[in-house]
Structure 1
Amino acid sequence: MKTKFICLILTLCFAFSCDKKDDFEIVQVATPLVMSKADFRNSVEVSAPQTIQEVGKIYAYKDFIFIGDVEGIHVIDNTNPETPTTIKFIKIPGNEDISVKDDYLYADSATDLLVFDISNINDEVKLVERLEDVFSVYDYQMPIEADEADYSKLNWEDDIIVGWTVTAERRKKRDDERFIDFVSDVAVIESSTGTGGSLARFQIVNNYLYTVGSYEMSIFNISNLSQPVLANTHYAGWNIETMFEADDYLFLGSTNGMYIYNLNNPASPEYVSEFTHWEGCDPVVVDGDYAYLTLRGGNACGQLESVLEVIDVSDKANPTLAARYALENPYGLGIKGNTLFVCDGTAGLKIFNKENPLDLNMIKGYNDIQSKDVIPLQNSLLMIGGNVLYQFEYLENDIKPISTYSLN
């Protein structure tokens, strides 16, 4: 009798454990590493050149090139394009973008906007202003392999996320779909305002600095360059990745489309329309009646297909798809006259004649280099890719290398 009772208990336990096992699963949980905002803000400094960790965005101003990195900005003296030289590293934790006007450099640092005086950049770079907590959303750089995030020990008011640990944990299954907030890249004449690549999220237009985050636009009045004022903040769209200004319009590239805003009231851009496409990483540039955007699939951005799309924006209220071209691994792009430069990632740099935007003609391809983004300046083309800064001279229907500078 005792044996039967034990068997019954074991049977019930086994059945119970089986039921419970079905209710659990192994998930990858990301836990944020944090720093107090006070310590975070005190960590900004200017130092001697540093080894680059991960090439970010590119920006050009006068004779200088700025390259973003994990912890800040590398400053390169490009007075002689044949022999560029790194001269400084500006440590700005949580930085993604910069813009420069009249020797004042604006940079995000997680939730803050910083202003640096770079008028004497060879000798001294001075932090002259910090606007605290003006960005409610910043890129937490959450690991892509994470299924869930554990924010239980994060103090949103006093802490800043500076990294992550990922561990496999046994957790109870959830019936609802998981959602992870992954808050997340034309030829110009050089002037007192610098030039960013197509992956930029900062744009200066006259006396205003426009910035976009994942879904929010922040507008700063920079009439007093050293003391910007937050003029407005509003919803901008969903999963915004890049911003481009042309003809008093802002074109925002998102993972699922392009948003258009007019600058009739520069302190408060007005939504005009949007063009929707399948999900994919999406920088955009505009020239005249056409916008050119690349969609990169096969990764966390969304779909498998990678293409270059040409959008007719002659009617800003009704943008329409005009043409589509297959690519392999596209990132940034830029325009110089009738030439369109497309960074096709590991597939190299592609050069198109865009005299007829509806029938682009590829006139040259450089397949032996890796390309991420370009800046077509008045007299030269800047490109970054694979931890290398490339500079090219313009030729008719081609380009000629000026220099190749390793960023390692």
Structure 2
Amino acid sequence: MKLKYLFLSIIFISIWSCDKKDLDLELVQVATPELMTKVDFRNSVEITTPETIEKVGKIYAYKNYIFISDINKGVHVIDNSNPALPKAIKYIKVPGNEDISIKNDFLYADSATDLVVFDISDISSISLVERLEDVFNIYNYNIPIEAEAVDYSKVDWENNIIVGWTVTTEKRKKVDNRFVDPGVITNDVAFNAAESVIGKGGSLARFQIVDNYLYTVGNHEMAIFNIQSLSSPVLDGKQYAGWNIETMFHADNYLYLGSTNGMYIYSIANPSSPEYISEFTHWEGCDPVVVDGDYAYLTLRGGNACGQLESVLEVIDISDKKTPTLAGRYELENPYGLGIKENTLFVCDGNSGLKLFDKSNPLDVKLTKAYNDIQSKDVIPLKNSLLMIGGNTLYQYEYIHNGVKLISSFSLK
């Protein structure tokens, strides 16, 4: 009889232990990196005929061409000689790409940890001419949105590049903060003529060319490249730029960095060594910025990964660069990029469409027009036309009195 009770006690304890252990576990969506060796990664650059864009990224205009990034994949080249009938003509496969910038027919692009340079003087025969290895730290790993945890245990940071993800459901021990910020995992190597023709990017850009320098920003670091020899850029240096930097805009010898919690202002009077001047702080939110004269205009997008507060357009008085102050705030729905053409401020309000504001009086910005039947993400106001991307479409508009008129819409899928 005693043996019977002892046996039942053992079973009860075992069950209780298992239940207690299960209480400490939960089902978690775990993202595991798909890896490629750096050698194979660097040999995978390729120039091909047009391909379908998988995930539309940023937009860039240069001469009669439009360049649209395919996030983490490469850059699509569109011939825009006839804006009414744009035509895809080339695809530059650049794995790990987020941004580009162009000067005098040399295209600079990030490729994960590297900076690559292409000669596009003959658009029918684009060629890779230079690669600077391990000059960037990777901040945006494009982790799947559904992932609740990331497993980096098999990543050799010195020799591997993350090129994709596999998401599986696993039992994991409950923790308060599952994510490890990959930005803090660093690669030791990464730390240790005639008038110029420079292209123009949208407000979501992280690359800016100013004279003989290319400036790039990551999550918290700025890299400065001397591009006096266009085909052979030289990394002049790196410096701390702020925190959670998302965008960069250049105006009047200053760089304006948009972050999730503010706007940083840097002087480039000494172009090889940008000098921190000041910052304007706000609540947490995704934050592109553009500047015109004494005022900066930025959008804050609340919700999701961008923060929990409202979405707004802010106008910042930067007449005194050392003490920027809030001059106005206007409610929006779901803003992304923005741009300026004379007294018109174009704001991409996501699913709520494109909105036009009269900023002739920056202290009293007024909504003048709303195009609600389109999705908008970013704009580039050119001299004679407005370029816009939204959803999977490239839109082009001509300027008309008190608004814009559609020239063409080009499907990117």
TM-score (norm 2): 0.94
Check 1:326–1:183 CA distance in 2 against 1; reply closer, same or farther (3 A cut).
farther
Alignment partners' CA distance in 2, 1:142 and 1:183 = 12
Runs of 4+ in structure 1 off by over 4 angstroms are none
Aligned mate of 1:91, from 81, 84, 93: 93
Match of 1:41 in 2: 42
After TM superposition, the structure 1 stretch with the greater mean CA deviation from structure 2, 96-105 or 306-315, is 306-315
Match of 1:180 in 2: 180
Give the unaligned 5+ runs of structure 1.
185-189
Alignment partners' CA distance in 1, 2:64 and 2:178 = 48
Alpha-carbon displacement from aligned partner over 1:337-390 (angstroms, at most 9, x marks no partner): 100000001100000000111211111110011111000011111111121111
Match of 2:18 in 1: 17
Match of 1:136 in 2: 137
CA positional deviation for 1:183: 5.5
Alpha-carbon displacement from aligned partner over 1:46-66 (angstroms, at most 9, x marks no partner): 111111111110000011100
Check 1:182–1:36 CA distance in 2 against 1; reply closer, same or farther (3 A cut).
closer
CA positional deviation for 1:394: 1.1
Aligned mate of 1:196, from 201, 205, 219: 201
CA positional deviation for 1:304: 3.8
Alignment partners' CA distance in 1, 2:232 and 2:240 = 24
Check 1:274–1:182 CA distance in 2 against 1; reply closer, same or farther (3 A cut).
farther
Alignment partners' CA distance in 1, 2:277 and 2:167 = 41
CA positional deviation for 1:200: 0.3
CA positional deviation for 1:275: 1.2
Alignment partners' CA distance in 2, 1:355 and 1:87 = 40
CA positional deviation for 1:312: 1.1
Alignment partners' CA distance in 2, 1:362 and 1:230 = 43
The reply on whether 1:232 has 2:241 as its aligned counterpart is: no
The reply on whether 1:397 has 2:390 as its aligned counterpart is: no
TM-score (norm 1): 0.95
Alignment partners' CA distance in 2, 1:129 and 1:94 = 16
Query: How many pairs align?
Result: 401
CA positional deviation for 1:26: 2.3
CA contact (8 A) 2:75 2:94 kept: yes
Alignment partners' CA distance in 2, 1:249 and 1:385 = 29
CA contact (8 A) 2:335 2:347 kept: yes
CA contact (8 A) 1:141 1:182 kept: no
Give the RMSD, CA atoms, in angstroms: 1.6
Alignment partners' CA distance in 2, 1:254 and 1:314 = 20
The amino acid that maps onto 2:244 is N
The DSSP-based 3-state class of the residue aligned with 1:346 is coil
The amino acid that maps onto 2:167 is V
The reply on whether 1:241 has 2:243 as its aligned counterpart is: no
Match of 1:367 in 2: 372
Alignment partners' CA distance in 2, 1:405 and 1:254 = 31
Aligned mate of 2:342, from 322, 337, 340: 337
Alpha-carbon displacement from aligned partner over 1:309-329 (angstroms, at most 9, x marks no partner): 111111111111111111111
Alignment partners' CA distance in 1, 2:239 and 2:335 = 30
CA positional deviation for 1:11: 2.4
Alignment partners' CA distance in 1, 2:384 and 2:254 = 26
Match of 1:187 in 2: none
CA positional deviation for 1:396: 2.1
